[in-house]
Amino acid sequence: MVKLYCALIGVKVVFPVNIDENESMGDLKDVIKTKNPDDIKCSASKLELYLARKGDAWLSGNEPSAQQLKRGNVDDDIKSMLDCKPLRAIWPIQDYLNDNQMPAPQPNQIHVLVVLPNEVPLTISPNSDEARFVERYESLSKTLVRDEQVESLSKAIRAILEGNFDITPFDVLESSSGMGKTQMAFNLNATGEFDVFYIWCNRVPDKVQDISAAYSSRTDAFSFCLDKDFQNLKGRSDIGSITKLRGIENLCLYGFIQAALLGKNKVDETVKTRQDVKTALEDRAASEKKPFIVFLDEFSREIKREATCNGALRLVLFQYKSASHCFSCEWCLSLGDVHCTYRGRLLLIQVN
């Protein structure tokens, strides 16, 4: 038997679990749920477990990070421990201890970090109850698909698809309100040349009755992933560095991108690596799918200079590139309330 001290992330709970070291991590999840029926409402299989290791040692109960955990907080050290794939349910506990060359667990240590799943499914399909708003735009797109502006933008996109760029360019559509920027997303899709993935970037208030309401679930999922990534990255001094961001292997946003590329209805929160995105791109290429375009509507383009200086908003570029694929997605990380002086439409390209 081994006694493991476990901490529920975001909950002021640290507790011991007695379990045979030959049992699996899946068995450990079952025990954890049994010991915490009030705090854990999901099925045990949805829990994510991580080793609470600092270097080659367990996290000491005297460490500031451990004290923060007991208060329900997460500091940078804990975030770094979570910046990896969760422990596999089928692996024996002892195998993980041996493979990571961890010493025998002792009292006054924390050994396992337990992450609860998001209680609200990260749905990215359009809201069926608001389908009438989508149908209006799709119906009009059949008339506008041969418009000169649609052909001009399609030509610009094709030029990017055929180009050889170190960093994939993106197109920005700017005009006064009501000039048809939102409609352009549906016009492009109607050409049959591209798969257009539409995202309304602003949070959608309750009872709103327009195209944003039809995509409010997708907006919420997108915002959730960005907020979660920002919380994990905001302590880094290089958060605005494109080069550094490319080196981050685990992001919640990767799961969102992967789900979009594969046409899924929901984001799988266990998917969070760049490799998952690479595999999805390869699957699309193998299936000879059309080029995938992310259309960001009501994208926050400008903010107060002082807010930028304070790091309240960062625009960061994620890019995957290989000999046959390129994926570019510029995304917004926000902290606190940011005053936006302009909201534009941003069109982003992924090259198959």
Q: What is the pLDDT of residues 152-177, one digit of tens each?
A: 988 988 887 787 766 666 677 777 77
Class of the domain covering 2-115: alpha beta
Least confident stretch, 87-91, 124-128, 149-153, 321-325: 321-325
Tell me the average pLDDT of the chain.
78
What distance in Å separates the CA atoms of residue 313 and residue 267, rounded to the nearest whole number?
Answer: 25
CA 75 to chain centre: 20
Q: What is the pLDDT of residues 188-209, one digit of tens each?
A: 999 999 999 998 887 666 556 6
Residues with Cβ within 8 Å of residue 320, at least 6 apart in sequence: 274, 277, 278, 281, 326, 327
Where are the domains positioned within the chain?
A: 2-115, 128-351
pLDDT > 70? residue 240: no
What distance in Å separates the CA atoms of residue 162 and residue 148, rounded to the nearest whole number?
Answer: 21
Q: What percent of the chain has pLDDT over 90?
A: 35
Query: What pTM value is reported for the model?
Result: 0.59
pLDDT at position 309 is 33
Residue corresponding to tokens 């409010």: 216
pLDDT at position 18 is 96
CA angle 65, 14, 122 (to 5 degrees): 85
Q: Where are the beta strands (DSSP E) in 143-258?
A: 171-173, 195-200
